[in-house]
Amino acid sequence: MAGRGFLMLGLAACAAVGAAVIAYVMTGRPLATPLAPERVDLSALDQVPDEVWARLRTQRIYFGHQSVGENVLAGLHWVLERKPQIGLRVISASQAGAFNEPGLIHGPIGVNGDAQSKIDGFDTVVRGPDGAQLDVAFMKFCYVDVAAGTDPQAIVSAYRSTVDSISRDRPRLRIVHTTMPLTSLDIGRKALVKRSLGFPSAGESANPVRGWYNEALRETFAQDAILDIAAIESKAPGHEPHTLASGNRNWPTLAPELTTDGGHLNMGGGVLVARELLLLLAARAGEPADTSVATSAGS
């Protein structure tokens, strides 16, 4: 009976491993245990003085985004429910009177796959009538806004030109910059075949472009506040950063523990980015209005 029991356990283990391998091959994603939001260390938020959170609650902050931004906002709501001392109001820009009261006001900008449309959408809001009331503004691109043939420097230049123009028209506004989100490494059947033939998958081709963009952004705005989403996404707690070797460089990729589909963030990933966003906003809220000291989250 004991031997039969061990046999059944062995068969069950093999079945579980087989199912996992099949899922691994069919989905094209690394086998990884998703990061539970409860595992994200939020203790740094408890070290922020109450008066800093109180100052943050007096500010109007605008966030222009698309779907990964929704993942970050889901993480933000999760954190705020567990850290009531922060008390930050979060509201959709589409709601009537959204800009009339302090808080983090968010809404979609542009079209996925068109980086310029997002820059233009951000510019329209920030330099429009509602923008005159803002204290802080930031936008983020999506991982789908670049492809293998995209010129990352052209996007940085277009973004910088718009930021410079906004800064001239809104001199009191603080603009926070964000790095471009990543995708996880494709390791499914198709990707393995393409790699064996010397051809990178779509994700492998685009992540270096995102890496070039992010490096250029960090260099261009080295003296400004940067929410380094890419750096946050590439490393799950307790793990080494995930990278992809391409062109004699190791480029960051999205950690499989933080994603639902290889591009969007799961709740744990959203909480990680939301934590760094709150710390960055708190740091900016604690600075004098005329400061130019850089604050970088996620680095």
Q: What is the pTM of this model?
A: 0.84
pLDDT for position 202: 53
10 Å CB burial of residue 24 (0-12, 13-18, 19+) is: middle
pLDDT for position 203: 57
Contacts of 226 (CB under 8 A, 6+ apart): 176, 177, 178, 179, 217, 218, 294, 296, 297, 299
How many Å apart are CA 210 and CA 143, to the nearest integer?
8
Radius of gyration of the chain (CA): 21
Q: Out of 6-15, 182-191, 214-223, which region has the weakest mean confidence (pLDDT)?
A: 6-15
Contacts of 291 (CB under 8 A, 6+ apart): none
pLDDT in tens, 99-128: 999 999 999 999 999 999 999 999 999 999
Percent of the chain with pLDDT over 70: 79
pLDDT in tens, 33-81: 999 999 999 999 999 999 999 999 999 999 999 989 999 999 999 999 9
